[in-house]
Amino acid sequence: MTTVLVTGGAGYIGSHCCKAFAEAGWSVVTYDNLSRGWRDAVKWGPLVEGDIADAEVVATALRQYQPDVVAHFAAYAYVGESVEYPELYYRNNTFGTLVLIEEMLRAGINRLIFSSTCASYGIPVRTPIDEEHPQWPINPYGWSKFMIERIVEDFSRARGLNAVMLRYFNAAGCDPDGEIGEWHEPETHVVPLAIEAAIKPGRVFTVNGTDFDTRDGTAVRDYIHVSDLARAHVLGGEKLLRDQGVHVYNLGTGNGTTVKELVDAVCRVSGQSLPVAYGPRRAGDPPALVAAASKAERELGWVPRHSDIDTIIDTALAWYRSRM
């Protein structure tokens, strides 16, 4: 049986990937310091509590479980926070990953699935964005992930590290079975914020910018269901078991949804009107971020199955209502 150690496996995307690995027949071990994850989300195998920057704890976990693959999700992911506190992002995301990779290779483990981001592209010069698009991040979060990608490539050349690096676009939605979901404190993601405004009295959803060069003036984003993301990680892990080298894939649908269209979808699916306020653009916010995901389909056989906007909203809404 293939064993995977999942760093950050108690978080939103990590926990959904733990479920997908388990359903594929893999043995799953979660490694998480629970600073931004939830113990209740660890349902598929044991939990090792530890920080990725703690070399001794990482080394002990690797020796004990001897994973065939490490899937790495343990990162801070708030853009605004990264601007205010860049040291958190470079210390945890970049330095922590360096420690993890060093300990993996010392333990004779050379397969890594890395959770990367479309934020590494910065302001797009063309859309849809393919994997060859220039990378020039515009915030410390994006830079911290960009640096990790360079570290992975260098360790591949120097030490034989094999990796699949998956650049997500806008992860959204929740497990269709309702076993796990999206739960951040504070919540900054657009879909749960819109749902909260629709069904929680006193909440208002703010649209940041109405003068973009898009079909209705609001920003366009490529929303990808978290369960589709999770399946891509299983396929990426299977590729690592077959092939050597470093492989990079965008994960998106290739279709964009404007913020106004998202608001309409939340109203339609929830049956509730959505109080909306309009604010200025956020600094550095691109008009459109849409993936070219044909490489993932061609090489991994990955096609999104749950990523139409209504399904994303429906699964997120069901999760939110279950916690009310």
Beta bridge partners of 248: 165
DSSP, collapsed to helix, strand or coil, labels residue 187 as coil
Judge contact between 109 and 58, C-beta under 8 A.
no
Mode of pairing for the β-strands spanning 111-117 and 162-168 = parallel
Per-residue pLDDT of the chain (324 residues; tens, 9 = 90+): 999 999 999 999 999 999 999 999 999 999 999 999 999 999 999 999 999 999 999 999 999 999 999 999 999 998 889 999 999 999 999 999 999 999 999 999 999 999 999 999 999 999 999 999 999 999 999 999 999 999 999 999 999 999 999 999 999 999 999 999 998 777 788 999 999 999 999 999 999 999 999 999 999 999 999 999 999 999 999 999 999 999 999 999 999 999 999 999 999 999 999 999 999 987 767 889 999 999 999 999 999 999 999 999 999 999 999 987
Q: Tally the residues of the chain.
A: 324
Give the other-Cβ count within 10 Å of 178's Cβ: 12
Judge contact between 296 and 249, C-beta under 8 A.
yes
Judge contact between 44 and 18, C-beta under 8 A.
yes
Judge contact between 172 and 316, C-beta under 8 A.
yes
Catalytic residue among 12, 31, 65, 141: 141
Q: Is 141 a known active-site residue?
A: yes
Query: Can you give the pTM of this predicted structure?
Result: 0.96
DSSP, collapsed to helix, strand or coil, labels residue 189 as coil
